[in-house]
Amino acid sequence: MYIVARDGSGDFTSIQAAIDAIPEGNRAPVIVIVRMDEYHERVIVNRDNVRIIGEARDRTVLTASGHALEKDPDGSERGTFLTATLMVTGNHVEVENLTIRNDAGDGREVGQAVAVYAAGDRGVWRNCRMIAHQDTLFCGPLMPKVVHDIAPYVSRAECVPSVGDCPETRSRQYFEDCWIQGDVDFIFGPYRCWFERCTLFMNARGGWYTAANTPEKQPWGMVFHRCVLTGECEPGAAMLGRPWRRFARTLFMDCEMDEHVSPRGFSDWDDARRVTDRLGEYGTTGARADQQTRHPAQRRLSAEEAACVTLQEVIGGADGWNPARRNPTWFLCGDSTMADYSADRAPMTGWGQKLQALISEPVYVENCAVCGRSSKSFIAEKRLNMIELCLRAGDRVIISFSHNDEKPDPERHTEPRVTFPEYLGMYIDAARRHGAEPILVTPIARRRFTDQGEPIPTHGEYPSAMRDLAVYRGVRLVDLESATMEMLAEEGIEGTKEVFCHVPAGHPNYPDGLKDDSHLQERGAVRIAGLFLNRLAHPETETFSGTAGSDADFADMIAQEDHVLNPKGGSLPS
């Protein structure tokens, strides 16, 4: 997960910088969270499998002011397709809770000015605002001039010599609960698109909501389902659309249309591009429900015809794509025992770092665990808030804290029977608000033995408090403390050195060696991840009981953890 914040509090200060940092060929979707602010930049998303999520739709704004009458260095006008504020050329890109504007102004003065250029396949747009004047949203392929203009960004989208009379296209876009605002032909292009519960808002100038140029052999173009058509123009000054090319295909299904919409419905573009029965309506409600006044050539679908216009039929394609059907994500909330580590920290490895490789089912793991965090400090840094922005029904929130809750500093310390369960409850509530499943995970045991070789529990009442909370809140529990205590007993003093991060002197990352009895090395991380998955699939109820060490020994142990993670002192790494 990357966080973009203009004030420097995130990983990047610009959206484009975050996109550029996404590695090639990622298996799981990379999540880019954009904090509330106004970002003045033009952005090209040329990566596949990306989720861009704004913190709050109306207060997270991407804006630029490119327009068609701008001059290139050679003095030529840039034209429509080089003006977009946000261009998406990657496949399977999802954009949520974001406002995208083109602030160039009235098309009568600046020409076309695109807010969104959706060029990839399987694009999903949820709860976004797209605002401009002429030509707000283009859904279609790239052209050689555009490819040249965006170089060196590698294009993944379809490319055609000319978008005017382009061949049949394969790419699809899905829009849900979006606000799309403009005036002249402000939703246009040849792609197959489905608009669900969107609001189409016509500016005061009036004009056409749509201008499709569907290829002749392409059975579907734009379908608007349960949308609202409104505006601020004079009554009747907003036309449903006009055919940009002769075979334009646009349907309005069960949409509400107010008095701003012309009773005429669609209109001809010119003598060659006229309304045909590929343009039509069904089930219109509101002030313009009477279809008897419509253009005589447009289609009035029967109930039987309308029943066949389905999401799957229009954008399903050969791959059976359904935007509502997705692989769930497991969000890991925890500390350094779970976190990801960079190559310069190897062989130190968090068990969450190895989870994705061991899962056979189609899920994604988003490891949000951070070194040095407790259940309290993780929330204080708004990390849970960022996760909550991403949650959907079917996801899981996997919660494992204690190591740092046990420490005495007030920024992290919680009381095991008071504030610790209170903070854990916040994670549970966040997950359930979005239909995700919370899973509590007791902390892994530290490598600590008596003189007789018996493992010593060091987490005090924190694990039992978590067990009790799981019962009280009806939450699934994975008892890793019990599982790892059993592992310590089985492997013994010497064997567990292969699990925890014991590194001999001379290692490139640890020249003086390392003896860490809290954190894992790679083989240990794999083993603990396997224990987690096994206990998840086959819940155990037995817990380990043993003899605790002295308070002084415990204080030495937790002090060592901070030193290993941050040997120079000061703030813990983020």
Of 357, 380, 356, 358, nearest in space to 370 by CA: 380
Residues whose CB is less than 8 angstroms from the CB of residue 55 and which lie 6 or more positions away in sequence, other chains included: 33, 34, 35, 36, 97, 389
Residues whose CB is less than 8 angstroms from the CB of residue 471 and which lie 6 or more positions away in sequence, other chains included: none
Which pLDDT value is given to residue 539?
76
Long-range contacts of 49-52 (CB under 8 A, 24+ apart): 49/90, 49/91, 49/92, 49/93, 50/19, 50/22, 50/90, 50/92, 50/93, 50/94, 51/93, 51/94, 51/95, 51/96, 51/390, 52/15, 52/93, 52/94, 52/95, 52/96, 52/98
Backbone angles phi, psi at 455, to 5 degrees: -65, 145
* Rounded CA Rg of the chain: 28
d(CA 350, CA 339): 5
Which pLDDT value is given to residue 564?
61
501: enclosing H helix or E strand: strand 500-503
Of 413, 421, 520, nearest in space to 477 by CA: 421
- For residue 548, is pLDDT > 70? no
Cis peptide before 328 (omega within 30 of 0): no
Read off the pLDDT band of 24 (50, 70, 90).
Answer: confident
Q: Are 443 and 513 in contact (CB under 8 A)?
A: no
DSSP state at residue 343:
G
The residue ranking higher by pLDDT, 342 or 565, is 342
Q: Are 244 and 272 in contact (CB under 8 A)?
A: no
Which pLDDT value is given to residue 26?
74
Read off the pLDDT band of 163 (50, 70, 90).
Answer: confident
Residues whose CB is less than 8 angstroms from the CB of residue 300 and which lie 6 or more positions away in sequence, other chains included: 280, 281, 282, 291, 294
Cis peptide before 152 (omega within 30 of 0): yes
306: enclosing H helix or E strand: helix 303-307
pLDDT tens digits, residue range 326-346? 899 999 999 999 999 999 999
d(CA 155, CA 314): 25
Domains in the chain (CATH in brackets) are 1-68+76-160 (2.160.20.10), 183-307 (2.160.20.10), 329-565 (3.40.50.1110)
Provide mean pLDDT across the span 160-178: 92
